[in-house]
Chain A
Amino acid sequence: MLFLQYLVAGVLTGGLYGLIGLGIVIIYKSTKVFNFAVGALMTFCALVCVALVTNVGLPFWLALPISLAFAAFLGLLTERVGLRPLLAQPILTLIMATLAIESILYGTMLLFWEGYTISFPQGVLPGQTIFLGPIFIPHEFLYAFIVATACFVLVGVFFFKTQMGLRMRVTAESHVVAMALGINITRIFAMSWMLATVVGALAGIFIGNRLGLQVAITPSLAFKALPAIIFGGLDSLAGAIIGGLTVGILEKMAAGYIDPKVAEITPYIILLLVLLIRPQGLFGEERIERI
């Protein structure tokens, strides 16, 4: 029975990791940039949402779309200011650029929210913790899981069924070919950053609902999504969700059966193992090398 409880908790947390991972994958897929700033972006947007609810006094259903619009704007800004000038630079430069952006966002958040734990007022999300016999399910996480699933389906449909999604995938394959096919790649970059930041913001808002937000701590939750996407394969949408679930479940199992403390680093141990054993992940695109 305990096992079931851990499994459910793992799946629910895993959904969140998957959602964060999805944001990373979207950017990576179309721009080949690995976004280390995802944690700061997500925390920032979630904090804005909290501020709208508590300081401005907006109802949650109104604050949510406004903060998602803000997320889109923030993603656009980040891309324009930080990454557009660095098109086609070496990997180290790109990593450093996202880290610099992370630092700027981190500092800005400290200015506004300092080090306090900030959470949504109680009962922003309707409903309460669900008890299924001995298993309990926090309703916030259930919402998060449903939204995460919906995001995956929507983004999947977008990437694989629409012409715009196809263009994003073309851009990911080759910038030059994309340009020759009449694709405005700078617009694609901007779009994927906006989309990814919105997805990240959703994750942040759900984390804020359940655990509260803390400037110094919440961003590093996003780093726990890293093993999830490496595990799933950096450019695979399905990989992100499966990787997220796997990491979430393993983390909760470790917390339950070994020690809650061990759970803190379980994702990183998984990360190291995956990097050592199968760096391209389980679902990553195979490099096609014909001779």
Chain B
Amino acid sequence: MWRPCGVIDETYEQDLAIVRTFPQWTLTVAALGALALLPAYVSGVTLNTVNHIAITIVALHGVNILTGLTGQITLGQAAFMAIGAYSMEMMVRYWGLSFWIATPIAMLITGVAGVIIGLPSLRIKGFYLAMATLAAQFIVPWIIVNVRPDLTGGTDGLTVSPPSIGGLQLTSQESIFYLCATVAVFSTVFARNIARSRYGRAFIAIRDNDIAAEIMGIAVVRYKLLSFFLCSLYAGLAGCLYAIWMRGISVEHFTLHESIWYLGMLIVGGMGSVVGVILGAIMIRSLTILVTYIGPWIAVFLPPGTGTVLELGLGPIVFGVVVLAFLIYEPHGLARIWERFKAFYRLWPYSY
């Protein structure tokens, strides 16, 4: 971890702090305050997008732990989210559990499923593992749709009734926003702490060279599976949030393309960086929204009737181009650009 000059720790508490200097504290409080007041200023449509971003951030933290820190490529995050969402809804629906109890259980279920899918990672790496997770991405929705369609609603999916807290039903985008934002903030703090703990360092050691890590005395098997577990835990949580945000679930929402997009966001944000997760999720999700606004604009110049198609097709194109551009020109992602900006800001007007 790099720190600016002049920041000197005098106690262990200081050394361990995430938020360190006075300006940082001010900024953090201001940012959280702004977040809390956000619903008062923006429209419901925008809030809807913000909620989607918050949910994405939660899911993406999982991908970051597994792929960014531990180096195990996953093409199955969306499938894990599906496991979380469906097991939550089934428990609420058929066992009458409340959302607040069902969610942690669903997260655990997803975590265990993640460990099972992670088992091949003990033998294989690289794109072999990518393919194992890809297989999971196809098998999980199939199981959901075909094994007990009477329970899961098959291809139609299920509607999800909004949970309530202390008599208040979480129906409005606003109330869902407070839930999602709180969860996203805590997920971020937790992810940050994992990254800098013993576990995080073990994950990074495995990513950089698993054989060397083994020789250094890191229990590679345990940590790889732990990494899958944590990743799926996040996925399960994100899936539950997604269910109540969408007010319904269907396997259509948890496709391979969704999983690919998570990886892409991680590239754009910056592999292995908690800040990158946030920046990547915001950038890609906002870009797609932007495209839906720009689409009709461009459509003016095209023959009539192509407008809606433009909206459909432009999203994946923009996503692909952005990801490819980042891979080629800034493989460390937005997080690195942010670091450079901070360094520039600190040193200005000097060059170093």
Contact = CB atoms under 8 A, between A and B. Distances in A.
B229 to A, nearest CB: 19
Contacts of B331: 89, 93
Contacts of B142: 261, 264-265
Nearest to A223: B134
Name the prevailing secondary structure of the A interface residues. Answer: helix
A275 B263 contact: no
B260 A86 contact: no
A103 B139 contact: no
The dominant DSSP class at the B interface is: helix
Given A103-B323, A106-B316, A279-B124, A92 B73 contact: yes
Interface stretch (B7-15, B19-27, B181-189, B306-314): B306-314
Interface residues of A, number: 42
A104 B317 CA distance: 4
Nearest to B315: A107
A7 B196 CA distance: 56
Interface in B320-335: 320-321, 323-324, 327-328, 331
B170 interface: no
Contact of A108 (B132, B264, B313): B313
A266 B187 CA distance: 37
Given A276-B120, A276-B123, A103 B319 contact: yes
A109 B314 CA distance: 10
A64 interface: no
A209 B324 CA distance: 33
A275 B127 CA distance: 11
Interface string A107-131: 1111100110000000000000000
A254 interface: no
A242 B153 CA distance: 39
Contacts of B67: 92
B309 A110 contact: yes
A96 B312 contact: no
Given A107-B313, A114-B312, A279-B123, A100 B327 contact: yes
A3 B329 CA distance: 55
B256 interface: yes
B128 interface: yes
A165 B345 CA distance: 55
B172 interface: no
Contact of A101 (B130, B263, B324): B324
Nearest to B310: A111
Given A85-B328, A96-B263, A111 B309 contact: yes
22 contacts: A89-B331, A91-B73, A92-B67, A96-B327, A100-B327, A103-B257, A105-B320, A106-B316, A107-B316, A107-B318, A108-B313, A110-B309, A110-B316, A111-B312, A115-B312, A223-B134, A223-B138, A265-B139, A268-B134, A271-B131, A271-B135, A276-B119
